[in-house]
Amino acid sequence: MRVMALDVGDKNIGIAVSDALLTIAQGRSTLRRSSWEADLAYMRKIVEDNEVEKIVVGNPLHMDGRESPQGRKIAQFANKLSDTLGIPVVFWDERLTSFAAEQHLEEMGLNWRDRKKHVDKIAAMFILQNYLDSQKP
């Protein structure tokens, strides 16, 4: 069993998948969104290739914890994905993950163009790693 995490945006979806022991988040290629059908086919392949049994979706809450308009859009997307793939979805607080991902990439010495290419994937990795860490006894 593996878990996949998504950092869903309007243009891109950052993707990460856990290892089989559910201890480490590993980034996958960022999906440049095009259509529901194409996005679904891409994610279905990752799910099948990695035997994913759960999807963690970043929930972009306001800083005070209230639901955001973007969060409502993402919830609709995630619920449709769950229904279509037949896999449960868990929503996970993603506040500041994109900021943390940006900082991490900057500390690695990447210029802004390279950071922009990787920030969604790294944010998905942070979401998944936080989730995995919270599941440990």
pLDDT tens track for 123-135:
899 899 999 999 9
Query: Helices marked H in 1-137 — which ranges?
Result: 36-50, 69-85, 97-107, 112-134
State the total domains in the chain. Answer: 1
User: Nearest-CA neighbor of 125 among 3, 1, 33?
Assistant: 3
Long-range contacts of 71-75 (CB under 8 A, 24+ apart): 73/10, 74/8
Which pTM value belongs to this model?
Answer: 0.82
CATH number of the domain to which 101 belongs: 3.30.420.140
Average pLDDT on 11-25 reads 96
Domain interval for residue 124:
2-134
What is the percentage of the chain residues whose pLDDT exceeds 90? 61
